[in-house]
Chains A and B, each alone.
Chain A
Amino acid sequence: MRKFFIVIIGLFLLAGFTLPAQAAKEVKFGVITQLSGGMALYGTNVWRGAQIGVEEINAMGGATVAGEKYLLNPIVFDDEAKPDKALAGGKRISSMHKVPLIYTPASLSGFPLLGINEKEGFIVMCTSQSPPFTEKGNKLAIRHINSVSRTMKPWIQFCLKTFENRNLKVANAGVMIVNTELGRYWANEFMKEWQAVGRNVVEKVSYSTEETDYYTQLTALLAKKPELIVLTTVAEASARVIKQARQLGYTGIFLNSVAGDPRQLNSLVPPQQLEGTFVEVGRWDYREEAAMAFIKKYQAKHSGEDPQFSAALAYEGVCLFAKALEIAGNTTDPYKIRAAFPKAYPLPNSIFLIRDLDEKGDVLMPVFLVEFKGGKILPVKD
């Protein structure tokens, strides 16, 4: 028995001494996300998705940069959905770890980082949909999602065609504006393009996702008899809006954009209340092969829990970063890595089909619609 312990201890010591010597080179990158606070569900998904990307790449020995293997080492920071914390996190990660890239999933964390990233020398890869993200002339900004101003016009036309094909008369829209930066941009862009095609906005009200009761806003909105209620927020708040509007007697259509996961909505709202709801989706929601493969990996790691699309986006972000490193042949110079990025798109087996990264930092990411009918989520394929 004693011998056995001595052997075990010996093995541990051996492992302890030999591991550092064998450790491969590594490249660090930052993930600033919301692990607590009001956006914790969304932010935790981001971190988990990024970890899956890292594990997958490291399992294959890491990224091959200039003939050498580099393991990815993500440094995570919880910004609690607060811009000042995000900025502090960015400063800390860049000064302590000299990362060439920080991935972050929201405008509230992406924008503060744009203030320091060129000086500190790191790329900000962000899923902010606010137009100004790429309009500040920042040379190290990459938007990792479609830009609102680039997709609004064709998207509205697609929506109108969809309504027409279903004989739905939709002229008067009521807009629910969520009090986030993106919410306002999105709503303004929507109202501009909606009125440009000769339709009306009969009322607009604003709300916060922190609130639980929207009766006040909905009562004011419904008094103007809209045929369409436009929402721009995450599934949980959308679910509350839809339920409460139906309780107040609204029978029209809902059109929901921006991160409204249709599956989550389906689990939170009874089917009869969801009837006549349209949600903007990316290819992710069509659950094709690449998406399914990611979902399986995620579920295997997190006791069967369903990932949000933010997880899949972070996963692809990490894969794109690794590929850009390989193309750049460099792990430290953010400008060389940024210059290599456009060649990294599209990823083989991409979930979102993100492509065409331009000089400004904008990409193309196709968006579609799904509709809720009889408790089912059906892709609109007109």
Chain B
Amino acid sequence: MTLFLQQLMNGVMLGSIYSLVAIGLTLIFGILFVPHFALGHKAMLAAYFTFFLVTLLGMNYWLATGVSMVLLAGIGVLVWRLIFYPIRNAPHINGFISAFGALMFLESLALILWGATFRQIPISYGDQVIKILGVSITVQRALVVGVAVAIMIALHFFLKKTLLGSAIRAVAQNREGALLVGIKVNRVSSITMALGSALAALAGSLIGPISLVYPTMAHSTILKAFVVIILGGMGSVGGAILGGFLLGITESLGGGYISSDYKDLFAFAVLVIVLTIRPTGIFGRAL
């Protein structure tokens, strides 16, 4: 039983990181119709920012995470204005290629600026372990899950209860309709980009102390996040959350009980099964 709970907890922790990046992806896809491949690399950039803020300026880790989120939100707007805005009326493939370009640019930039050396974000509570019902979890891991869930709830209320949130949903549902009722679509787009980037920044900063910080740290996360949004339904925030946890737990239980050789296989098998039954994803609507 302890073993099962431990693997379940491992999966929840994995799932919360997948979900965070996936929410960002799905929000941006909903508004811009761009599969934003570079989002994982924004998480990487944020992890570097947090690392330098903590080590060079001696800033508190959580404050540094907040600052990174703000910085990345700014970079998100910049990326939107410089890359996606000029091609907003071009065929979708242009956005697709541009997103790839942004990914390569960010990765190479990190490599040039900071080199390939691995870095570690120091945290004051270090490797303290909490034990509940025989399950071991470090403080940072518990916080990752806690913060991720809190942010998801906050995001839910933001999207459902605020005017801006409604505007974002309106643009995602019907761009022309939103324009007709006077919603400033470009403003909503840039805000969505900022929001998505900030969520990715949070994911990067949260995983930083657990993993290490290096230019390619986001490769597997971004791939999984794409699986998650396809699984959950493109453009659906609820789907991204559910898909993230589903994927994390499947990987963890499959890897733990069947074979770790096929850990990634389980993730993709779930994707195939879900798409066979519901081609639009769990919460997706027909495009």
Residues of A within 8 A of B (CB): 36-38, 40-42, 44, 179, 205-208, 210-213, 215-217, 219-220, 223, 236, 239-240, 243, 246-249, 264, 268, 270, 273, 305
Chain A residues whose C-beta falls within 8 Å of the C-beta of B13 in the assembled complex: 213, 215
- Asked if residues A219 and B10 are in contact (CB atoms below 8 Å), the reply is yes
Taking each of B212, B219, B251, B260, which has the highest tally of chain A beta carbons within 10 Å of its own beta carbon?
B260
Q: Min CB distance, B219 to chain A, in Å? A: 6
- A41 and B127 in contact, given A205-B260, A213-B13, A213-B210 (Cβ under 8 angstroms): no
Of A44, A216, A219, the residue contacting B116 (CB under 8 A) is A44
How many B residues, CB 8 Å from partner? Answer: 38
Of A41, A215, A239, A248, the residue contacting B117 (CB under 8 A) is A41
- A212 and B7 in contact, given A40-B111, A217-B255, A249-B136 (Cβ under 8 angstroms): no
- Asked if residues A220 and B219 are in contact (CB atoms below 8 Å), the reply is no
Chain A residues whose C-beta falls within 8 Å of the C-beta of B260 in the assembled complex: 205-207, 216-217, 220
Q: Min CB distance, B107 to chain A, in Å? A: 7
- Asked if residues B220 and A239 are in contact (CB atoms below 8 Å), the reply is no
CA distance A208 to B261 in the complex (A): 10
The reply to whether the CB of B216 lies closer than 8 angstroms to some CB of chain A is yes
- Asked if residues B220 and A211 are in contact (CB atoms below 8 Å), the reply is yes
The reply to whether the CB of B14 lies closer than 8 angstroms to some CB of chain A is yes
B33-53 interface with A by 8 A CB criterion: none
Identify 23 residue pairs between A and B in the complex whose beta-carbon atoms are under 8 Å apart, listed by A's number.
Answer: A36-B108, A38-B219, A40-B215, A40-B216, A41-B118, A41-B214, A179-B261, A205-B260, A206-B261, A210-B216, A210-B220, A212-B207, A213-B14, A216-B10, A220-B7, A220-B256, A240-B212, A247-B129, A248-B136, A249-B129, A268-B118, A268-B120, A270-B126
Residues of B within 8 A of A (CB): 3, 6-7, 10-11, 13-14, 107-108, 111, 115-118, 120, 126-127, 129, 136, 138, 207, 210-212, 214-217, 219-220, 251-252, 255-257, 260-261, 263
CB nearest neighbor in A for B253: A216
Q: Min CB distance, A3 to chain B, in Å? A: 42
Given contacts A216-B10, A220-B7, 17 further A-B contacts (CB under 8 A): A40-B216, A41-B118, A44-B115, A205-B260, A210-B216, A212-B210, A213-B14, A213-B210, A215-B252, A216-B256, A219-B6, A219-B10, A220-B257, A243-B127, A247-B127, A247-B129, A247-B136
Main secondary structure of the interface of B (DSSP, over half): helix
CB nearest neighbor in A for B264: A208
Chain A residues whose C-beta falls within 8 Å of the C-beta of B252 in the assembled complex: 215-216
Chain B residues whose C-beta falls within 8 Å of the C-beta of A246 in the assembled complex: 127
CA distance A223 to B260 in the complex (A): 14
Of B212, B217, B255, the residue contacting A268 (CB under 8 A) is B212
